[in-house]
């Protein structure tokens, strides 16, 4: 099974619930990060920017979780993503900037 190509949403249900679930997941990931500041603020990923990213990368395809992570990276000054998903070499934050990430292997 190719785990990199499995695409599942962060949650089931309405699109609003999926966005809320992704925001919670991203907040948890950032809070657990050793690079996180003591008072990390909550993210407001916004539904429209996340959906625009998914539309832009529909040919990859970009999952909702991937879009949430790219959007979260746009709101951090010095992001670093640890992932096994090579698609993050394709995705761009703020239109043209690569998503700083470490991809093992």
What's the confidence (pLDDT) of residue 39? 46
CA max distance for the chain: 40
Token pair 């907040």 is found at 27
Residue 58 in any domain: the answer is yes
Residue 89 in any domain: the answer is no
Owning domain of residue 48:
11-34+43-79
Residue 84 in any domain: the answer is no
Domain count of the fold of the chain: 1
Per-residue pLDDT of the chain (105 residues; tens, 9 = 90+): 333 434 444 433 455 555 555 655 555 555 445 555 544 445 567 789 999 999 999 999 899 999 999 999 998 888 999 999 999 999 999 999 999 999 987
Helix ranges restricted to H, the chain: 15-32, 47-56, 64-74
Whether the CB-CB separation of 105 and 83 falls below 8 Å is answered with no
Residue 97 in any domain: the answer is no
Residue 56 in any domain: the answer is yes
Residue 95 in any domain: the answer is no
């Amino acid at each position: 099974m190719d785990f990199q190509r499995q695409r599942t949403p962060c949650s089931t249900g309405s699109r609003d619930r999926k966005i809320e679930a992704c925001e919670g997941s991203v907040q948890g990931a950032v809070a657990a990060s050793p690079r996180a500041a003591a008072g990390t603020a909550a993210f407001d990923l916004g539904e429209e920017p996340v959906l625009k990213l998914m539309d832009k990368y529909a040919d990859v395809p970009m999952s909702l979780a991937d879009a949430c992570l790219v959007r979260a990276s746009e709101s951090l000054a010095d992001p670093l993503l640890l992932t096994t998903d090579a698609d993050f070499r394709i995705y761009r934050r703020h239109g043209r900037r690569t998503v700083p990430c470490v991809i093992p292997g």
